[in-house]
Amino acid sequence: MGRLFGTDGVRGVANADLTAELALGLSVAAAHVLGEVGTFEGHRPTAVVGRDPRASGEFLEAAVVAGLASAGVDVLRVGVLPTPAVAYLTGALGADIGVMLSASHNAMPDNGIKFFARGGHKLADELEDRIETVYEQHRTGAPWARPTGAGVGRISDYAEGFDRYVAHLIGVLPNRLDGLKVVLDEAHGAAARVSPEAFARAGAEIVTIGADPDGLNINDGCGSTHLELLRAAVVEHGADLGIAHDGDADRCLAVDGAGEEIDGDQILAVLALAMRDAGQLRKGTVVGTVMSNLGFKIAMEREGIELVQTAVGDRYVLESMKAEGYALGGEQSGHVIVLDHATTGDGTLTGLMLAARVASTGRTLAELAGVMERLPQVLINVPDVDKSRVTTSPELATAVADAERELGVTGRVLLRQSGTEPLVRVMVEAADIDQARAVAGRLADVVKSALG
């Protein structure tokens, strides 16, 4: 069996790859594994379970809740809430397990299961591996140890989760948003109620789109993967800015008053300066990934802020932040982690903090984002090659060195192996888009000939 857990939980087509049986079995396995490592020691365990609005989330939630309760875990169902809300409530309520059912920005037929440990933190790789091993052992015949009588878990709804999470968001804002007009695109997803409520309570005048989930329309032509509607709405309503979430609202992209996209690197740049000015940017450092735009790095150097770069993936950003005590990190895709207030990327919190910076400075989002120049970035995927040789091919090394000399200090080359496919990603940045395209094309040809 291939590894079930990917970089962000278990994900697949609901009722095909991700079945009720799998959801139930993984939940029981998670309860057993976390019990074995002492998470439940000395008390009756509790879990917080939430989901996004996908239709399949209804039966998958039932399976997860049944699995946990059958393993002796009391369950608090919080209903449809963003992933970061489930993580927050897991910590705030002192729960032993958090479970979120969502496939994030994926299309509606997909769904996923994400587990959180005590405190609302993502599980370490070794715990995920252990859960998978235990699940497989019992799937193939070894019986579960099942509690009976009063030992089975009890299930209750925790309707207060909505207000508690919104109150948390408002409570950590540095200032109110009075006087701002904001368009919110909720992707017909998990933040459809939370985000408008939070922005309104913070004082903003809001216009909402993509806020009518029916279980089938999540991410459908809207949200952070489809900014066209948000751009048009911001211009139409004369708004100061627009905020777009993905299906589970763990990320945020924005558009300025003219409808121009503000990506995750630009959002990080704005928040880094805001936190630096407030004395909250610990060690004067922000964490990005190797895919962070070179313009972001140049801007941070100019502002005296150190940039630490990790492998691609918000879990690697988070690991670096926790290990070194950094306060801010994120990805170009809009996963932004403010570790003092969240244990994972939180799109609603990010949007609120971005709007708060606009409100407190009196400057437009375009002016604030202008702290960095987003250099043209060209990405070419080269399929059907031996990706294992990307770091050992002399021919490729020579081609990369030649390209780096040509680009100079205002350009960059990055070759990455795909984690799941036999392909190599060629990324080139340059001050000029035509030069970036030309260099990327040449390198892609060398990758094909040298590794094909």
Active-site amino acid positions? 104
CA 31 to CA 13: how far, in whole Å? 24
d(CA 290, CA 313): 10
Local structure of residue 190 (DSSP, 8 states): T
Question: Is residue 114 a contact partner of residue 8, using CB atoms and an 8 Å limit?
Answer: yes
Does the annotation flag 256 for ligand binding? no
DSSP string, 109-176: TEEEEEEEETTTEEPPHHHHHHHHHHHHHHHTTPPP----GGGS--EEE-TTHHHHHHHHHHHH-SS-
Q: Is 250 annotated as a binding residue?
A: yes
Ligand-binding annotation for 246, yes or no, is yes
End-to-end CA distance of the chain: 28
H helix or E strand, kind and range, residue 325: none
Q: What six digits make up the tokens of 114?
A: 């994400």
CA distance 155 to 165: 21
Answer whether 200's CB lies under 8 Å from 355's CB: no
The verdict on whether residue 224 carries a ligand-binding annotation is: no
Which residue numbers belong to the known binding site for Mg(2+)?
104, 246, 248, 250
Which residue numbers belong to the known binding site?
104, 246, 248, 250
